[in-house]
Amino acid sequence: FALFTRNQRRWESPPLKPESILKFREECQNYGINPNHILPHDSYLINLGHPEPDALDRSRRAFIDEMKRCHELGLLYLNFHPGSTLDRISESECLTIIAQSINQALDTIPNVTAVIENTAGQGSNVGYRFEHLRDIIAQVNDQQRIGFCIDTCHTLAAGYDIRTLETFNQTLDELDRVVGLDYLKGMHLNDAKKGLGSRVDRHTSLGEGVLGMECFRCIIRDNRLAEIPLILETPDPERWPEEIRKLHALLSD
């Protein structure tokens, strides 16, 4: 499962209470949930590649606080959107700033792995090319505590076809060649409202967008993806139980 450890749409949040930390750890143990299967997400406000020093510092402090919360809860990962150029710097400059931000956080907080999410490339966001993920990871000092998460909607919108078994495998092979599947720490499962290469980030319920169900059949049946957290980010929470049943059914249909 995924969670936010603080309000994802505000800069400031109160510290986690000791009793909340203890209760969370106990419940994970009680329900047999492995920390490897939990993928927390950071605040949507954070831009680790911000071109302005003051705003960058604010994002970095917020990210370190997010990492600290994960560490307190006994979590191993923190999933985040890499950042945006805001059309003021080049993509390569932005990628370097993001890597520097990650290095600062990893130097400050132990044990938690930073997990970069690929993006749809909407607006001035970086991270929509596999090469962007590669270039960030290459500049991170602690290679044992960096990884990435693949969002299915973002992947299609960025121009990578994953709609059939053949194109899914081609894309996964390219991802392995460019970045390395050893760094893959999780996936977000979303159908997409907009088409291949649209660069538009619009999620929809499984089987009701342009991806269809074949993509998710490939994911569910691929042994390379068996032990990573697979997170639904579809827009209707009331339909999540139905969508989870659909995914389980793909194992045998």
Annotated active-site residue in 65, 135, 151, 191: 151
Catalytic residue check, 188: yes
Annotated active-site residue in 69, 134, 145, 154: 154
234 vs 208: CA distance, rounded Å: 11
Give burial (CB, 10 Å; 0-12/13-18/19+) of 110.
exposed
Bridge-based pairing state of the strands 184-189 and 230-232: parallel
Catalytic residue check, 151: yes
Residue 66 contacts by C-beta under 8 Å, 6 or more apart in sequence?
A: 5, 6, 40, 42, 43, 46, 78, 80
Annotated active-site residue in 91, 135, 201, 243: 201
Catalytic residue check, 44: yes
Catalytic residue check, 233: yes
Annotated active-site residue in 10, 26, 27, 44: 44
Annotated active-site residue in 9, 87, 182, 238: 9
Q: How far is CA 8 from CA 11, 20, 62, 158, 205, in A?
A: 8, 18, 11, 24, 22
Catalytic residue check, 50: no
Q: Which amino acid is at 64?
A: I
Annotated active-site residue in 42, 66, 117, 191: 117
Annotated active-site residue in 6, 50, 81, 145: 81
Catalytic residue check, 132: no
Annotated active-site residue in 42, 188, 191, 217: 188
Catalytic residue check, 72: no
Residues tagged active-site: 9, 41, 44, 81, 117, 151, 154, 188, 201, 203, 233
